[in-house]
Every structure is written in structure tokens, then in C-alpha cells.
């Protein structure tokens, strides 16, 4: 059992002022695997003071120096890639497939930011005016548990590219993963105070970061409920906020699609990251006339989904991160049954032989109506809702009938038709014919899925203030 009892402040692992602890429990077998000491407001003050002092010089650093730091980080994190994958599987319960991809993505984020930085113009002309893009200040980074290190690497890399310094508060459930990552960052030889980490609870450490007058911006990934709380508190000091929040993403299968291929892909896609993915395509929109065929194909596909121990390479769906998350998913399955949706696969309870962990059966509801709660609310587990539509116009209207707008997916044999539909969907990312990712394209949500963008030049601009100099 590991004990994480230090924060990382001003370039060193330091004993925290906070003394409360939080037990780290394996999602796979409920054994205690560690304990983390939680920081408090005093720890946040110290971390912010260090970041503020470092900002005075780092904000003036050259682009070449920032690129070198990003390279050092990439090297340092790459060296421990295997360990990072293993600890993520152990602590979070993510599948080997997902944890491997997520860690590679975290490492690649530094290279992507270097590419962005090399082409980025920090000085521009607007009218007759010189516009300088200047680093916004100390950034508070608050992250969730579902791809913890990947979020930290992406956000810290962007902050460094902009010339900002940071105070990071990861989920308390990600302490083992964070510890290993911080060791990598320490190896990378960053200037003291540039990067600080305080483990702790959202309502203590998170709130202290959000309220701190010396923090200029919050970059948050997490639930919409928490995002709204942060945005409200941030207003008091007029902080900039970037919010990457929840989703209920539609996956529209148009009537000209190859259903034999599209439906199995849709089923496996809905279970990406064991269903604990903000961009998971959880609403499968299919033509009403083809519902019977879709049900048959979906049922056959779900039988191929392997729910089980996340260390096994073949596992598609691991346990939920916590017992609380398991209970939440169970309650939504119950709600679906009560709402009168047809249960096509899975259902309540744990799969046979997996009673010791937070395992949920790969579940599909069909004949779901878009006004049911299982179609409107983010479940964050392996539960797919199949929703029939009348025609293309109806499909677009159902897809947009949501408070969310993070991602959407369209499958069609006619790319021009798919593009026509894509341009009518209210979502920050629309993928045509497959689950795609472009690390240089802006990522973020419409509506209540977020505020602002991450990745590439759009993401970098969020960490910069335009200053107009009129000569
Ligand atoms: P969460 O909102 O409960 O917690 C996220 C982080 O916020 C944690 O570090 C938590 O401790 C902290 N926090 C909680 N209360 C706080 C407060 N009052 N002030 C400041 N910080 C506070 O989210 P979660 O359960 O950890 O993660 C799952 C959610 O994250 C889902 O809704 C998912 O859709 C969302 N998410 C979004 C994206 C995206 O890019 N849009 C990516 C991944 C996850």
C-alpha cells in the first residue's frame, strides 16, 4: 500500500499543512491500495505564492526556452510510460486498451503544443494597432479522474507554451497516478514554482484555487454541475475560465449507412473508457424503419463486449472508478426501466464472477424516447440508448434537443450528405464515419458542455490576453 503524503510546491515535494487523509480503493477488487494526505487552504496559498513568484520571470521567457521545457517534459514522461499505464489501470480501473492510449496521448500532447507554438504569432496587427498576446497569469488547473494525467499534461503543456505558471488540483481519486507524473515533471527540471500540485477535495482545495485573487484563470475539466459552481465563484475576481464539461453525444446513423458495420462500431464506441468518457456516443439515433435490424445487430455486438479485469488486454469495459459511480449507473438503469425503455442487454446488478469490483453489465436500452432521463442526463457508465427517428430532419432535431453539445457522430455512405448534417449539429466536435481525434483542432463544448476551447492555437489563445498597443 502506498502513502502519498506530500504536495509539490516550488520545485520540491513538501509536507502539506492539511492532515486529513483519503483512502485509495481498487475499483477492481475493493482492496485498499493507498492513502493520500489532503491539502488545505494554507497549502493552496503556498502553491499560489510560488507560482506567482515564478510567473514574474517565466512570463518573459523566450519561445525557444518554452519549447525546450516541453521537450524535457515529453522525454521525462515517455521514460515512465509503462509504469504510468500500470498505475492508471490499478487506481482508476481503466482498461489496458484505454490506459495505453490515454498515456500515449498525454505524452504526445507536449509535441503537439510544440508544433502549435512554432507556428503561433504572439504579435499581430489589427487596424493600425500592434496586438501583443501576453500570458494571462497564474492558472489554476482542476481535473477529473477519468483520464487524469492526460488532462494535466495537456493543460500544463499549454500553460507553459503561453508563459503561464500553474497550480494543479487533480481528483483525490487519482493520487497514485499524479504522484508518478509529478516525479516525471520533477525530473524534467522545470523552473521552481512553475508547476505546483496540491492534492485535496474539490470543496476545499478546489474552492481555495477558484477564490484566490492571485489566480488569473481556471482551466477546469469535470462535471457540468461543478463547472457552474466554479464559474460563479470565479466571477468575484473576474477570472478567465475554460470549462470542459459533460456530454450526451448523439451518434446519427443515416439510412444509407452500412448498418452491419456501423451498429457494432456504435456499440463498442458507447463503451469507450468503460462508458466514463465525456465524448462517449451514448445516444444512438437510427431510422425507425430499421429499428428491428438495429436491435438485432446491437444485441449481437454487445455479446462480444468483454466486461472484466482491466489488466487483461482483451477487456473492453472495466469497473466504474468508485462504488459511488457504480451506484449512480445502477440508479440510471433503474430509471430507464421505470421510464418504460426496452432493455435489450445488460441491466441491473454485477456481471457473474465480478462481484468484488464496481463492475456494471454492458447495457443497452432501445425504443428510447429523447425526453426520457436516460436520454437527457449524462450517466457516465456503459449504458447506451437507442433512439428511433423518422427522417433526416427529425434526426438533426433529436440530436440538438439536449442541454449538452460536446460531440456528435454521423455515419453515412455519402460524405457530402454527412457534411450537410454535420453543419446543422450544435456540438464542438462532429466526427464523420468513425471516432476521430485531431490534437491540433479546437476541442470544447457548445451549450452546457463548456466554455472556451482546448488544443492547438485556439487552446493556446485561452491562456493569453490580447494587449493593443496604439503607437
Ligand atoms: P467533478 O466535477 O465531480 O470533479 C472534477 C474536479 O473538480 C475534481 O478534481 C473535483 O475534486 C473538483 N471539484 C469538485 N467540486 C469542486 C468545487 N466546488 N470547486 C472546485 N473544484 C471542485 O467531475 P468527475 O466526477 O471527477 O468527472 C466526471 C465528469 O467530468 C463528467 O461529467 C465528464 O463528462 C466530465 N469530463 C469532461 C471532459 C471534457 O473534456 N469536456 C473530459 C472528461 C470528463
Task: Measure the CA–CA gap between 327 and 30, rounded to whole angstroms.
Answer: 15
Half-sphere exposure of 294 (CA within 13 A, CB side): 28
Closest CA to 243 of 455, 461, 448: 448
In a mutational test of the pocket of ligand 1, which residue from 38, 140, 144 has the highest number of ligand atoms less than 8 Å from its CB? 144
Task: Measure the CA–CA gap between 199 and 184, rounded to whole angstroms.
Answer: 17
Closest CA to 146 of 269, 248, 275: 275
308 confidence band (pLDDT: 50, 70, 90): very high
**pLDDT tens per residue across span 39-64:** 999 999 999 999 999 999 999 999 99
Q: For position 92, what pLDDT does the model report?
A: 98
Q: Which atom of ligand 1 is nearest to the CA of 445?
A: 41
CA 248 to ligand 1 centroid distance, Å: 15
Q: For position 224, what pLDDT does the model report?
A: 97
CA diameter of the chain = 73
Task: Measure the CA–CA gap between 288 and 282, rounded to whole angstroms.
Answer: 18
- What residue owns the CA closest to ligand 1's atom 37? 245
> Is any atom of ligand 1 closer than 6 Å to the C-beta of 145?
yes
Task: Measure the CA–CA gap between 458 and 436, rounded to whole angstroms.
Answer: 19
Q: Are 136 and 240 in contact (CB under 8 A)?
A: yes
**pLDDT tens per residue across span 83-139:** 999 999 999 999 999 999 999 999 999 999 999 999 999 999 999 999 999 999 999
Helices (DSSP H) in 340-446: which residue ranges? 373-376, 392-400, 415-422
Q: For position 89, what pLDDT does the model report?
A: 98
Q: Are 173 and 322 in contact (CB under 8 A)?
A: yes
**pLDDT tens per residue across span 195-252:** 999 999 999 999 999 999 999 999 999 999 999 999 999 999 999 999 999 999 999 9
Q: Which atom of ligand 1 is nearest to the CA of 227?
A: 2
Q: For position 56, what pLDDT does the model report?
A: 98
> Is any atom of ligand 1 closer than 6 Å to the C-beta of 208?
no
What would you report as the CA-atom Rg of the chain, rounded to the nearest whole angstrom? 22
Closest CA to 170 of 386, 4, 382, 336: 4
In a mutational test of the pocket of ligand 1, which residue from 222, 233, 328, 406 has the highest number of ligand atoms less than 8 Å from its CB? 222
Burial of 400-426, coded b for 16+ CB within 10 Å and e otherwise, reads bebebbbbbbbbbeeeeebeebbeebb
- What residue owns the CA closest to ligand 1's atom 20? 206
Q: For position 83, what pLDDT does the model report?
A: 98
Q: For position 269, what pLDDT does the model report?
A: 98
Question: Which residues on neighbouring strands pair with residue 13, listed in sequence order?
Answer: 8
335 confidence band (pLDDT: 50, 70, 90): very high
Q: For position 132, what pLDDT does the model report?
A: 98
294 confidence band (pLDDT: 50, 70, 90): very high
Task: Measure the CA–CA gap between 270 and 276, rounded to whole angstroms.
Answer: 9
CA 62 to ligand 1 centroid distance, Å: 33
Report, as an integer, the average pLDDT of 12-16.
98
Q: Which atom of ligand 1 is nearest to the CA of 244?
A: 41
CA 246 to ligand 1 centroid distance, Å: 9
Active site amino acids: 244, 278
Share of the chain above pLDDT 90, in %: 100
Closest CA to 302 of 317, 292, 289: 317
First and final C-alpha spacing in the chain: 62
Q: Which atom of ligand 1 is nearest to the CA of 325?
A: 25
Q: Which atom of ligand 1 is nearest to the CA of 222?
A: 30
Q: Look at residue 353 and give its three-state secondary structure.
A: coil
Q: For position 251, what pLDDT does the model report?
A: 98
Using the 8-state DSSP alphabet, how is residue 448 labeled? G
Which runs of E-coded beta strand occur in 233-307? 240-244, 250-253, 283-287
Task: Measure the CA–CA gap between 181 and 147, rounded to whole angstroms.
Answer: 13
* pTM, 2 dp: 0.98
Q: For position 205, what pLDDT does the model report?
A: 98
Order the strands of the 407-411 sheet from edge to edge.
342-345, 363-366, 383-389, 283-287, 250-253, 407-411, 429-432
Can you state the angle between helices 148-162 and 175-187, rounded to 10 degrees? Answer: 40
**pLDDT tens per residue across span 379-423:** 999 999 999 999 999 999 999 999 999 999 999 999 999 999 999
- What residue owns the CA closest to ligand 1's atom 23? 222
> Is any atom of ligand 1 closer than 6 Å to the C-beta of 175?
no
Residue 18 grid cell:
492539511
**Which domains occur in the chain, in start order?**
2-245+447-470 (3.40.605.10), 250-432 (3.40.309.10)
CA 6 to ligand 1 centroid distance, Å: 23
Q: For position 261, what pLDDT does the model report?
A: 98
Residues in the chain: 471
Using the 8-state DSSP alphabet, how is residue 357 labeled? T
Amino acid at each position: 500500500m502506498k502513502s502519498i503524503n506530500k504536495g509539490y510546491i516550488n520545485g520540491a515535494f513538501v509536507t502539506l499543512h492539511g492532515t486529513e487523509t483519503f483512502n485509495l480503493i481498487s475499483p477492481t477488487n475493493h482492496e485498499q491500495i493507498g492513502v493520500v494526505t489532503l491539502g488545505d487552504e494554507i497549502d493552496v496559498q503556498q502553491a499560489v505564492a510560488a507560482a506567482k513568484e515564478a510567473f514574474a520571470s517565466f512570463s518573459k521567457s523566450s519561445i525557444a526556452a518554452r519549447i525546450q521545457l516541453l521537450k524535457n517534459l515529453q522525454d521525462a514522461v515517455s521514460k515512465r510510460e509503462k509504469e504510468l499505464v500500470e498505475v492508471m489501470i490499478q487506481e482508476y480501473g481503466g482498461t489496458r486498451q484505454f490506459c495505453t492510449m490515454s498515456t500515449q496521448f498525454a505524452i504526445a500532447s507536449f509535441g503537439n503544443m510544440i508544433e502549435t507554438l512554432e507556428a503561433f504569432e504572439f504579435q499581430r496587427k489589427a487596424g493600425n494597432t500592434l496586438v501583443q498576446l501576453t500570458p494571462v497569469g497564474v492558472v489554476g488547473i482542476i481535473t477529473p479522474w477519468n483520464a487524469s494525467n492526460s488532462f494535466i499534461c495537456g493543460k500544463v503543456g499549454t500553460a507553459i507554451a503561453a508563459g503561464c505558471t500553474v497550480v494543479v488540483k487533480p481528483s483525490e481519486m487519482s493520487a497514485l497516478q499524479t504522484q508518478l507524473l509529478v516525479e516525471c515533471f520533477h525530473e524534467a527540471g522545470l523552473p521552481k514554482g512553475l508547476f505546483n500540485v496540491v492534492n485535496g477535495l474539490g470543496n476545499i482545495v478546489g474552492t481555495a484555487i477558484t477564490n484566490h485573487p492571485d489566480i488569473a484563470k481556471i482551466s477546469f475539466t469535470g462535471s457540468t454541475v461543478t463547472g457552474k459552481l466554479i464559474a460563479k465563484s470565479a466571477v468575484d475576481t473576474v477570472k478567465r475560465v475554460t470549462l470542459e464539461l459533460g456530454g450526451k453525444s448523439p451518434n446519427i446513423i443515416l439510412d444509407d449507412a452500412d448498418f452491419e458495420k456501423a451498429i457494432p462500431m456504435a456499440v463498442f464506441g458507447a463503451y469507450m473508457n468503460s462508458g466514463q468518457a465525456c465524448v462517449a456516443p451514448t445516444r444512438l439515433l437510427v431510422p425507425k424503419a430499421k429499428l428491428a435490424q438495429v436491435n438485432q445487430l446491437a444485441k449481437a455486438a454487445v455479446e462480444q463486449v468483454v466486461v472484466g479485469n482491466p489488466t487483461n488486454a482483451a477487456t473492453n469495459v472495466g469497473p466504474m472508478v468508485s462504488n459511488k459511480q457504480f451506484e449512480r449507473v445502477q440508479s440510471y438503469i433503474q430509471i430507464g426501466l421505470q421510464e418504460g425503455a426496452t432493455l435489450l442487454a445488460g441491466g441491473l446488478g454485477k456481471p457473474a464472477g465480478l462481484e468484488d469490483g464496481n463492475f456494471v453489465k454492458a447495457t443497452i436500452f432501445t425504443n428510447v424516447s429523447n425526453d426520457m432521463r436516460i436520454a437527457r442526463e449524462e450517466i457516465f457508465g456503459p449504458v447506451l440508448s437507442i433512439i428511433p427517428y423518422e427522417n433526416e430532419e427529425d434526426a438533426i432535431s433529436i440530436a440538438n434537443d439536449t442541454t449538452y453539445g460536446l460531440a456528435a457522430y454521423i455515419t453515412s455512405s455519402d460524405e457530402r450528405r454527412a457534411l450537410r448534417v454535420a453543419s446543422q449539429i450544435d456540438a464542438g466536435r462532429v466526427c464523420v464515419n468513425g471516432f476521430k481525434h485531431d490534437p491540433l483542432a479546437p476541442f470544447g463544448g457548445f451549450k452546457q458542455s463548456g466554455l472556451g476551447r482546448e488544443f492547438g492555437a485556439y487552446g493556446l489563445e485561452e491562456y493569453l490576453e490580447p494587449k493593443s498597443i496604439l503607437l
